[in-house]
Structure 1
Amino acid sequence: MGSIVAQLPALIGVLVGTVGTIVATTLADRARWRRRQTVRWDERRLDAYAEFARVLKEVHTIASRLIGGYLDPDQELAALTEASFRHTIAWENVLLLGDAPTVAAARHWRDTVWEVERLARQRATGSGPRATDDLPGLLHRANEARDQFYAAARAGLEVGGGSVAQATLLMPRLDRTRTAPPAPR
C-alpha cells in the first residue's frame, strides 16, 4: 500500500495533465470554430451589403438619368424596373444577414432612393412636376443616406480606415444642377 501512496502524486499529476489537455484542446477547438463561423458570416454579410449597395446605386443612377430627361424614357423605365427587382432580392439578404444598425441605415438609404425613383417615374410618365427646386436637396439626402449605410456596414464588419463619406464631396456637382438649363423633351 505504501508504494501506491508514494505513486499517488504522480498519478494525480498525470490525471490533472490529461484533463487539462482535454479541456485546453476543447476550448481551442471551440474558439477556432467560432472564429471560422465569424469569418464565414462576415464574408456573407459583406457580399450582401456590397450587392445591396450596387443595385441600389444602380436604381439611383437610372432614376437620376430619367429625371435629367436625356435618354429614352421607355428604355430607362424598363431598366429601372429590372434594377428595382434586383434591389428587392438584395434587400432580403441584408435583412437576413445584417446587424440592426446596418439594416436601419440601409432602410433609410432605400427609402430616400425610393423618393428619387418615384420622382423619376412621375417625370417619365408625365404625371409629375417638370421642375423640382429641391432636386439637389433630395439627391444630397440620398448621398448622405448612402454614407450612413457605409459607415454602419463598415462598423458592423469592423473595417477600419476612417470615413469614406462622399456626400459633402458631391455637393458642388449637385449645386450645378440648380443652374443647369432644363432638359429638352
Structure 2
Amino acid sequence: MGLSTSEQLLTIAAVLLGALTTYVTNYWTERQRIRRELLTRWDTKKLEAYENYVDRVRAAIYLAVELYEHREGIRLSDDPEARQRAELSEATHLRGRAFERIMLLAGDEVVEAAHALNAATLEVDWQSTGKTPGTLDDWRTRNRAVFAAINTFHETARVDLGVSGSVTGEAHPDRDLLLPPARRVREGAD
C-alpha cells in the first residue's frame, strides 16, 4: 500500500519541522553556552582585577604607615627615609596601574567606589610624606577613611560579581584600627 501525496507531504513537513526545531534549539543552546562562558571569563578577569587592586592599595598603605611612623619618630625603621619614599612611590604607581584595570572591567558602582578609595589613599600618602600636615589623630582618621573605603569597594565588587552576602551591616560589626596602646610618658621626663 502506498502513501497518498498529501500523506507524503505531511511526512516531509513533519521531518522538516523536526529538523528546523532541532537546529534552532541547538543554535540557541550553543549561544547560551558561549554567553555563559564569556560572562564567566569576564567575571574571572574582574575578580583578578579587584583582588589585585585591593592588594596594591593595602601594600601602599603599609608602606605609608612605615614611612609616617619613621618620620614622626613613632617607630624608626632601618631603611633610610629616601628608600621608604621610593618604595611608596613604586607602590602608588602599581596601585594606579591596578586602578586602570578597574576602569576597564568594572561596572559604574565599582568604578565610583575605586575613585573614592583612591582619594582616601592619597590623603594617607600625602600625610605620610609630609605633603599634607596633620596630627596623629588626623593620621588615624585618614586611615579609618581608607579602610571604610576598602569595605565599600568590597561591597560594590561583590554585588558586581553576583556574590551573595555582605561584609558590612548588622552581621559584621564596625571594626576600628588595630592600634598599640598609647605610649606612657615616663615620670619626671620632659
Which category of TM-score, normalised to the shorter sequence, fits these structures? 0.7 to 0.9
Q: Does 1:173 align with 2:178?
A: yes
2:188 matched to which residue of 1?
Answer: none
2:20 matched to which residue of 1?
Answer: 19
Runs of 4+ in structure 1 deviating by more than 4 angstroms, as ranges, are: 164-167
Q: Are 1:147 and 1:167, in contact at CA under 8 Å, matched by a contact in 2? A: no
Runs of 5+ unmatched residues, structure 1: none
Q: Number of aligned residue pairs: give it.
A: 174
Q: Does 1:56 align with 2:57?
A: yes
TM-score normalised by the chain length of structure 2: 0.83
Match of 2:82 among 68, 74, 89: 74
Q: Does 1:152 align with 2:160?
A: no
Higher relative contact order (CA 8 A, sep 6+): 1
String of CA shifts for 1:129-183, please: whole Å, max 9, x gaps: 47343222111111100000011111111122432688922x1525x57x3479x
The correspondence of residues 47-126 of structure 1 with structure 2, limited to 5 A, is 47-69=48-70, 70-71=76-77, 72-122=80-130
TM-score normalised by the chain length of structure 1: 0.85
Q: Distance in 2 between matches of 1:85 and 1:181?
A: 38
Q: Are 2:64 and 2:128, in contact at CA under 8 Å, matched by a contact in 1? A: yes
Residue 135 of structure 1 aligns with an amino acid whose one-letter code is W
Q: Distance in 1 between matches of 2:69 and 2:16?
A: 78
C-alpha displacement of 1:67: 1.4
Q: Distance in 2 between matches of 1:44 and 1:76?
A: 32
More helix by share: 1
Q: Distance in 1 between matches of 2:55 and 2:62?
A: 10
String of CA shifts for 1:77-113, please: whole Å, max 9, x gaps: 1110111111121111110111111111111111101
> What SS class does the counterpart of residue 163 from structure 2 fall into?
coil
1:4 matched to which residue of 2?
Answer: 5
Q: Distance in 2 between matches of 1:97 and 1:167?
A: 31
Q: Are 2:127 and 2:134, in contact at CA under 8 Å, matched by a contact in 1? A: no
